[in-house]
Structure 1
C-alpha cells in the first residue's frame, strides 16, 4: 500500500533533513531556508539549529548562494539594480552586493543591447514612443538609467549605420 505524503502514520522528517533536501535541489540563503522550514511547520529553535548545522558542514553558505544568484541572473539578462534588489531580500549586506557585482565582470551595456535584440529583433527604432517602450523594458529588467540611455541610443545609431 502506497502512503500519502500527509499520512499521519508516517514520521515527520527532521528540520535538518527537510533543509538538506531543499539544498539538494538548489542553493538557498539562510533567510530563505528559515522561511521554508517555518512554512513546513518547523519551529524556531529546531529550524535555526538545522540551518546552523548545515552551515558548519558547508552545505549552506550565504556567500556561495549570492555568487550563484548573481551569475544566474546576469546570464538571464537582468541588470544590476534588479540583482541588487533580489540580494537584499536575502539579507546580503550592501558592501558584499557591490563586491559581487564588481566580481561578476558583466558588461551591462552589452547585456542591455543583447536584451533589446532578443526582445525586438533587428528592427530599428521608428519613433520616440517605441524608444520609450524599449527603455521601459530595460528599466524593468533592472538596468541603470545611464545604461538604458546608452543602449537605446546605440541601437538607434546602429540602425542609422545600416541605412547608410
Structure 2
C-alpha cells in the first residue's frame, strides 16, 4: 500500500490535532515539506484566521502541562522561546503568580515528604525548587510549610 503525501495544510492540522502548537513550532515542523517559505506562511495565516491555531490556547495548554512541575520563571522562559507577544506573556504571568506558592509546596512535598533534618538537606530542597523555576519568595514560604499533610 502506498502512503499518500500529506499537504502542508493536512500536516498542520494533524500536528494541531495532537496538541496545541505555536506559530514558531509549526513553522519549524512544516518548513522541510514546503517548496517555498511563503507556502508555510499562507497555511499558518489560514490556520489563525480559521481559529485552528491560537496563541492564547497554546499558552494555556503549555501552562496546563507544565504548571504541576515547574515554577513561573521556567514556564515564562519557555513561552518566550515561542515568540508570543508581550500581552499574552503578561496575561500568563499574572495567572501563574496567583498559584506559585501552592505549586511550589506541592512539588516540594511530592519530592521531599520529610522536612529537612539539617542545613545541607534544606539547601538541597531549596536548590531543587530553584532549578524548577520557582521564585525565591515562593521557595522560602514553601520551605516553612509543615509537611504532615504530605502523602
Tell me the TM-score normalized by structure 2.
0.87
1:149 alignment partner, one of 136, 140, 144: 140
Larger Cα-atom Rg: 1
**Could you list the per-position Cα deviations for residues 121-154 of structure 1 after superposition, in whole angstroms to 9, with x for gaps in the alignment?**
2x111111111111111111110112112212x1
- 1:62-141 equivalent positions in 2, closer than 5 A: 62-74=55-67, 76-104=68-96, 106-121=98-113, 123-141=114-132
Contact conserved, 1:71 with 1:104, CA < 8 A, in 2? no
Q: Distance in 2 between matches of 1:105 and 1:138?
A: 15
- Please tell me the root mean square deviation across aligned C-alpha atoms, in Å: 1.9
Give the secondary structure class of the aligned counterpart of 1:82.
helix
Q: Give the Cα separation in 1 of the matches to 2:70 and 2:93.
A: 12
* 1:138–1:104 distance in 2 versus 1, CA, 3 Å: closer
- Do the aligned residues in 2 keep the contact of 1:81 with 1:142 (CA within 8 Å)? yes
Runs of 5+ consecutive residues of structure 2 not aligned to the other structure: none
Shift of 1:112: 0.7
Distance 1:106 1:72, change over 3 A: farther
Distance 1:56 1:19 in 2: 14
The size of the alignment, in residue pairs, is 147
Unaligned runs of 5+ in 1: none
Question: Is the Cα–Cα contact under 8 Å of residues 8 and 30 in structure 2 kept in the other structure?
Answer: yes
- Could you give the per-residue CA deviations for residues 103-136 of structure 1, whole angstroms, max 9, x where no partner exists? 3564211211111110012x11111111111111
